[in-house]
Chains A and B, each alone.
Chain A
């Protein structure tokens, strides 16, 4: 129990004193998580919706494949991107290994299956309700996708938040493609891993508390936005 008490005290102390290194780590974590979640949603929300309303050969197989990707181990993704982005690899000339960009890309790939699977589920359920009405209005399946994505924005906001949470908690892939370079690619999760391996458990816990607080506030803000939107639009 001592560890928890001390780490809580330390967490407050760190947050209060506004340690510069910590601020840098938190800001970077926010930016890479938001960026990767945004990219993942931009791709996977429409893809999930397309699969939900679509009727094409191989659809079932695609759904199984998408769901299987959910179980993709993050270190495998990290390793694959490391090999791709390494100077010795095919995309080495881009020079983005060990930069925040590499983290964003790897995280985006990890988040996409989650967002696609959830988006597909939500849109598929709604499609049962909307389908005939939209067909009657002359809306093709393809054209229905943006309509549904916007109409289901409240539910899909929750999906986006799940994606953001997944991104913010990623450590394995980030470690490999980012290199955990102090001041450059050290994010909260890799900092926690580092402090843990240095045996500084109270500090690691304190950082973890701060990360939790961050994710909680993001969720709280999103919840408030949803509540307002639900009241406004029904």
Chain B
């Protein structure tokens, strides 16, 4: 474990009510940060809500999210949203912005931003306005932006959703490198093959409840819960 990492993460009895409806229902999660976790489930099962809650964007209605030490949400996390919001400036400037928000000195920003773009294969479009990039390029830019600040935890919400197979493979590769460099990964996805390759564990949500948590390869061969089985068979939406 790297020095200063905020693990283990303890989520206890987390309930989140949104719009009068229980999006998360008494979720317990203990995470040491070493295993890569894929959060799976049908639409509306609460995957994105779980990510947002763990990342600190949503306050639990009940229960608590507790990181190691102080329990307060650590600053060096990052999240890649399903539809990333990019600023109306160049791709490079977007990454530089994220770095400046974390207090990186101006001199170092340019170089680190360029490196991050290089890592995701976007060097060629560094000066293009971020908003005119294709969906796949924007997704990779969001990853570069999150990665550039070297977070200890990286959440990703459907990172390969809008990507063609080539770009998706690229993202897989980058995520592998990010994990190698010591960043903990927790992501949601609909692509089961991707989950199988990129995750060590699967957390399966059903109607806001944590139905199952199983090592990845075992989950896809023989899930323990009935809901997971139905899910894998019918690939419920």
Contacts and interface: CB of A to CB of B under 8 A. Distances in A.
A130 B77 CA distance: 18
Contacts of B30: none
Contact of B88 (A136, A138, A143, A234): A234
28 contacts: A129-B85, A130-B85, A132-B57, A132-B81, A133-B84, A133-B85, A134-B85, A135-B56, A136-B57, A136-B77, A136-B81, A137-B97, A137-B98, A137-B101, A137-B145, A138-B75, A138-B101, A138-B102, A143-B101, A147-B87, A150-B88, A151-B88, A153-B88, A232-B129, A233-B132, A234-B88, A234-B130, A234-B131
- The DSSP consensus for interface residues of chain A is helix
Nearest to A229: B88
Contacts of B77: 136
Given A132-B57, A138-B75, A234 B132 contact: yes
A136 B79 contact: yes
Interface in A107-128: none
- The DSSP consensus for interface residues of chain B is mixed
Interface residues of A, number: 19
Interface string B115-132: 000000000000001111
Interface of B: 52, 55-57, 75, 77-79, 81, 84-85, 87-89, 97-98, 101-102, 129-132, 145
A150 B88 CA distance: 8
A62 interface: no
Nearest to A148: B87
A154 B85 CA distance: 17
